[in-house]
Amino acid sequence: MPRAAIFDVDGTLVDTNHLHVTTWWEAFRQAGHDVPMHAVHRAVGLGSADLIEHLLDPGRDRAGDSALSAAHTTLYGTYFDRLPAFRDAGRLLRTLADRGWAVVLATSAGGAELSALRRAIDADAAITATASADDVEHGKPAPDPVRRALDGAGAPSDSAVFVGDTVWDMKAGTRAGVTCVGLLCGGIPEADLTTAGARAVYADPADLLARLEESPFGSVPRAGR
């Protein structure tokens, strides 16, 4: 059975978190909601419905939530042709695939957004499967996306490493029983990632790649060994 290298995408492999902050902030503003950018940043990584629920008054009229989410999608979509991958993001995925890992993307993105992110990473040949927002009922911090990724890889939880950049990623991975690795390139402090379950924390994909052998990837044996 293979080992699974599971990756979040936004803020982990592609430098998009602050684009999400800006476009969510603008979508909220257009809908008449005053939500500070720092609060939006902390919520990035949640699915759209969960992010809105997390940031707005639970006693609000939810009739406008779908339009708010659609506004964010439209605003963010203007960046689809120029999303920037972090340095060595694609190389990291290709290196793991070459070493026998089943690489799976576990992300809140879906549809055209996920396609744009994959184009930015430019490592499709290394990716075994994806677990997107389109595939699960509950997004992070629920374990569903990570468990779906494990299914896609055909790997048990004790032969998997999940790499992400948010507290939601670390909580989802921990609840799914996998080893979690945090990256700082999404803008979340190391202490927050560690408290949420990160076994190790690195600056970005390039830093993780440079220290791959000493990272949790270097200590996960193949299943059955």
Model confidence pLDDT, tens digit, residues 47-72: 999 999 999 999 999 999 999 999 99
pTM of the complete model: 0.95
Structure confidence at residue 101 (pLDDT): 97
Tokens of residue 23, six digits: 């476009």
* Per-residue pLDDT, 222: 64
CA 206/CA 90 separation, integer angstroms:
10
CATH number for the domain whose boundaries are 3-16+83-219: 3.40.50.1000
**Backbone dihedral angles phi then psi of residue 156, each to the nearest 5 degrees:** -80, 160
| CA–CA distance, 103 with 53 (Å, rounded to integer) | 31
- For position 28, what pLDDT does the model report? 98
| 21 closest CA partner among 8, 11, 32 | 11
| Long-range interactions of 61-70: CB distance < 8 A, separation 24+ | 64/31, 67/31, 68/27, 68/28, 68/31, 68/33, 69/27
Q: Which residues of the chain have pLDDT under 50?
A: 224-225
Which residues are 179's β-sheet partners?
161
For residue 113, what pLDDT is reported?
92
> What pLDDT score was predicted for residue 137?
86
Closest CA to 154 of 63, 207, 224: 224
